[in-house]
Amino acid sequence: MGEATGKLSLRSQEWIQTALFQLMEKKPYSLISITEIADKAGLARQTVYRNFQDKDEILLNYLTRLMSGVWKHIDGGQPYTEAMFVLLFRTWKDNIPPSLILNIKGQDRKIRQLIFRSICDCHDELFIGGSRGEGGTKSDIYRLYGQKSFSALLHMMLIEWTLQEFHLSPEEIGKVVSELSASMRKFL
């Protein structure tokens, strides 16, 4: 019974996510309601709320899975290599839904905030072990600022590269990010 319920929940989550992206093709993210998402998915609002706290969680779930999918290829190695940056940008370009690109180009601030949050959350969890450096040593504090600066750089480059319609190849933008982030990575 539990396995069937889990599969049903996963299917509902996929429908909800698909409905959100379909709605984003015609309407800015910030103007979409849970009721519209539920109607588009053919589900009751209660089903949406059983699976997600709000619409931000729907999008954040997608973005976090996308980011985590990149970082899981590290296999215990150095996470800040040029090859990892290339993989990040290639994965972004190959997997970002067109409706999300539309909303980025529409300058929806909420979209940008959620992208930044997904980068920070993945970075915190996978590379810092959830530690945020508050109240720690001077080295911990520098690490915190280095991490936030690094996350901000990745966010800004993903957004700008998207706005510029991926004018550089993933290899080129990965190299740029690797070079720009070299001093920040010393603190990580």
- Per residue in 100-134, pLDDT (tens digit) is 999 999 888 899 999 999 998 887 776 655 455 45
In the predicted structure, residue 41 carries a pLDDT above the cut 90: yes
**CATH class of the domain at 1-52:** mainly alpha
pTM, two decimal places = 0.84
Q: Map out the domains of the chain as residue ranges.
A: 1-52, 54-185
**Averaged pLDDT score across all residues of the chain:** 87
Type of residue at 151: S
- Per residue in 23-34, pLDDT (tens digit) is 999 999 999 999
**91: CB partners within 8 A, 6+ apart:** 66, 69, 70
Sign of the CA dihedral with 32 first, then 148, 76, and 160 last: positive
- Distance separating alpha carbons of residues 135 and 65, to the nearest angstrom: 30
With CA atoms as reference, report the closest residue to 188 among 63, 81, 67: 81
